[in-house]
Structure 1
Amino acid sequence: MTAINTLTEFLTQADTQFQLFDLGRQVRPLDSAEFVRVEQQAIPYPWPLQQHAWLAVHFFQRAEEKHYLWFLKFALDERGLLVSAGPKHFMDLVVETLGYKLTGELDDATAKRLADNPYTFRPAEAKMASLHAKLGCQLEQAPSGYYQALCHYLAAPSEEGWQQLGLQGFADLAERLQQESNLALVCKAMARLPEAPLHALCQSLESAPLPPALQGALLERIAREQESAHPNPETLAYLCRAFAATASNGQRINKLLTLLETHPSPSLLLAIAGRLWPDLQDPALLDLFLERLAEQPTPFFNQVFAELVTLPLLRPQVLATLRSPTRSEAVSRAIGRLFKAG
């Protein structure tokens, strides 16, 4: 057995077919070649959350029908590089428990021993549903039993009937938006959905790239919410989060600017920082976002600012604000308090 230093080598040596997903801010595939570079500390982890990489590892052996999932979180250093001691320790624990045979039936005691380590986590229900929907489509499996019930409800949304809908149905639908009938169904329903099913739908859309027609329907629903007598801050945040897997564009940035021009809720600020952070590469949006963030209580500002700094794509711009001579008094004071707290 050759020396094994990385998770990729470990899974390869165990003769598994495997693929990786990031489960931090949304559910998205993680390119295996890119992850090898992360493991070599050649590049920072692209999507850190709370200074960790949150991974789903899907693996199987060609000779077996059963598929397996590991949910693993590994610490990152202040530069976003993987702390290699974590994966190595995890692999030691697995070898101690299973040897190099990673597939096959486990008895309860072995399964408990394998799960009882500091590197595993249980994903939120919505993320688990999205991952299962993605894998189900990939493996050409039928959607869950909740899918048809949801399609039936969306054809005539009402205040009744949504209580029986399962999150898995929303996730299954989000993965099938390329079907023209589904796209038309969701676009038409978007204007009429009550808040609870709307929130569930938006949560599932976070992990699916949205066709232009659905982007337009979401922007219209945001505008309608903005113009209502009492806009619901949670609904606005969910509607914005729905764009998470969709490439940024000028229309969306302009909409975010209008949302930030009023006094946005903490939920909306978290939606932008947590899901739409690539949009903050726009200098005007970043400036206004930091301005609004500085109006929040100090612990909230410190937490969100610290998260933004960890994102490799955004880090240079956010750090540049520390030295910017044009930053506002409010942002300067908030940054001053951040350094005092540190």
Structure 2
Amino acid sequence: MTTINTLTDFLTQAETQFQLFDLGRQVRPLDSAEFVRIEQQAIPYPWPLQQHAWLGVHFFQATEEKHYLWFLKFALDERGLLISAGPKHFMDLVAETLGYKLTGDLDDATAKRLADNPYTFRPAEAKMASLHAKLGRQLEQAPSSYYQGLCHYLVAPGQDGWQQLGLQGFADFAERLQQESNLALVCKAMARLPNEPLHALCQSLESAALPPALQGALLERLGKEQECASPDPETLAYLCRAFAATPANQARTNKLLTLLETQPSPSLLLAIAGRLWPDLQHGPLLDLFLEQLAQQPTPFFNQVFAELVTLPLLRPQVLATLRSPNRSPALSRAIGRLFNAN
């Protein structure tokens, strides 16, 4: 038998067809060839969260109808490189329990042994719904029973009716934004949606590329919320998070600048750091973000700053702020407390 050193080798040796998803900050495909380079420690993991890679592994065998999902988290080092001991230990545990026959029915005792290890996790409900929606559409399955109910509600959104809508329906809808009728429906409804269904919709949009018309509708709703006498901080944060899978543009950057110029809430700062961190490659936005972050309690500043440093695309710019002579006294003090805590 060929020596098995990586998860890719393991799944290949087991004669499965498989695909990978990142489940950390949103749900997105992870290219298999890129993952091989990650396993070889040739490149850092692109989307770390809490210094881990959070993976969804979808696999099946061509001769069987059943499909399987593993949810795995593996530790990364300070440079974002995969620590290979984790995947190797996981594979040892699986081989000990199943051998190299990864598919087929499991009895309860075997399933419990397989799940009882430090490398598995249960995704949040919204992420699980988004992954199922993506796989269902890919496999040409019908959307969930909640989908039509959501479409009907969006025709005339109000305070009643949304309570029976399931998150899976929102996720199925987000996967079908390219349908012209759906796009027109959601753009028209955006201004009138109550906060609770709006938040659910935004969670699902995090993992979908947004057409320009919907980006415009979201920006309009953001502006409307900003103009309220008492803007709802959670709604502002959810609306920002909805852009997570969509490349940055000038209109969005300008909107984030206006949001940060007022007193931003912790929820908004987390939404930007956790979902819209690519936007922080824009120097003025990063500077303003860090200045506002410095106004937060020390544990919050330390946590968010540490997360930003782990992101490969952002790391050089964030570290450069440590040496910047232009940072404010407040930011200098916050950074000083960060180092004193370590």
* Pairwise TM-score range, normalised by the shorter structure: over 0.9
Quote the residue 2:195 is aligned against: 195
Q: Which runs of 5+ in 1 are unaligned?
A: none
Query: What is the Cα deviation at residue 329 of structure 1?
Result: 1.0
SS in 2 for 1:191: helix
Query: What is the Cα deviation at residue 35 of structure 1?
Result: 0.4
Query: What is the Cα deviation at residue 336 of structure 1?
Result: 0.4
Quote the residue 1:172 is aligned against: 172
Query: What is the Cα deviation at residue 253 of structure 1?
Result: 0.3
Return the alpha-carbon distance in structure 1 between the equivalents of residues 2 and 225 of structure 2: 60
Quote the residue 1:337 is aligned against: 337
Match for 1:205: what amino acid? L
Quote the residue 2:36 is aligned against: 36
* Off by >4 Å, runs of 4+ in structure 1: none
Match for 2:307: what amino acid? E
1:155 aligns with 2:160: no
Among all aligned residue pairs of Structure 1 and Structure 2, give the percentage whose two residues are the same amino acid. 87
SS in 1 for 2:36: helix
Query: What is the Cα deviation at residue 2 of structure 1?
Result: 1.1
Quote the residue 2:69 is aligned against: 69
Quote the residue 2:145 is aligned against: 145
Query: What is the Cα deviation at residue 310 of structure 1?
Result: 0.1
Query: What is the Cα deviation at residue 330 of structure 1?
Result: 1.0
Give the alignment of 1:48-87 within 5 angstroms: 48-87=48-87
Return the alpha-carbon distance in structure 1 between the equivalents of residues 254 and 333 of structure 2: 27
Return the alpha-carbon distance in structure 1 between the equivalents of residues 182 and 268 of structure 2: 28
SS in 1 for 2:18: strand
Quote the residue 2:288 is aligned against: 288
Query: What is the Cα deviation at residue 103 of structure 1?
Result: 0.3
Query: What is the Cα deviation at residue 242 of structure 1?
Result: 0.1
Give the alignment of 1:228-243 within 5 angstroms: 228-243=228-243
Match for 2:67: what amino acid? H
Quote the residue 2:26 is aligned against: 26
Q: Which runs of 5+ in 2 are unaligned?
A: none
1:218 aligns with 2:218: yes
SS in 1 for 2:192: coil
User: CA deviation digits over 1:299-318, x for unaligned, max 9?
Assistant: 00000000000000000000
Query: What is the Cα deviation at residue 220 of structure 1?
Result: 0.1
SS in 2 for 1:177: coil
User: CA deviation digits over 1:241-263, x for unaligned, max 9?
Assistant: 00000000011000000000000
Give the alignment of 1:292-307 within 5 angstroms: 292-307=292-307
Return the alpha-carbon distance in structure 2 between the equivalents of residues 328 and 42 of structure 1: 37
Return the alpha-carbon distance in structure 1 between the equivalents of residues 86 and 77 of structure 2: 11
Return the alpha-carbon distance in structure 2 between the equivalents of residues 57 and 158 of structure 1: 38
Return the alpha-carbon distance in structure 1 between the equivalents of residues 129 and 164 of structure 2: 16
Match for 1:3: what amino acid? T
SS in 2 for 1:72: strand
Return the alpha-carbon distance in structure 2 between the equivalents of residues 219 and 250 of structure 1: 12
Return the alpha-carbon distance in structure 2 between the equivalents of residues 12 and 60 of structure 1: 11
Quote the residue 2:115 is aligned against: 115
Match for 2:72: what amino acid? L
Match for 1:64: what amino acid? E
SS in 2 for 1:88: helix
User: CA deviation digits over 1:185-216, x for unaligned, max 9?
Assistant: 00001000000000000000000000000000
Quote the residue 1:4 is aligned against: 4
User: CA deviation digits over 1:155-190, x for unaligned, max 9?
Assistant: 000100100000000000000000000000000010
Return the alpha-carbon distance in structure 2 between the equivalents of residues 95 and 341 of structure 1: 42
Match for 2:98: what amino acid? L
SS in 1 for 2:66: coil
Return the alpha-carbon distance in structure 2 between the equivalents of residues 94 and 118 of structure 1: 12
TM-score normalised to structure 1 length: 1.00
Quote the residue 1:261 is aligned against: 261
SS in 2 for 1:117: coil
SS in 1 for 2:118: coil
SS in 2 for 1:176: coil
Match for 1:23: what amino acid? L
Return the alpha-carbon distance in structure 2 between the equivalents of residues 94 and 273 of structure 1: 35
Number of aligned residues: 342
TM-score normalised to structure 2 length: 1.00
Match for 1:32: what amino acid? S
1:126 aligns with 2:126: yes
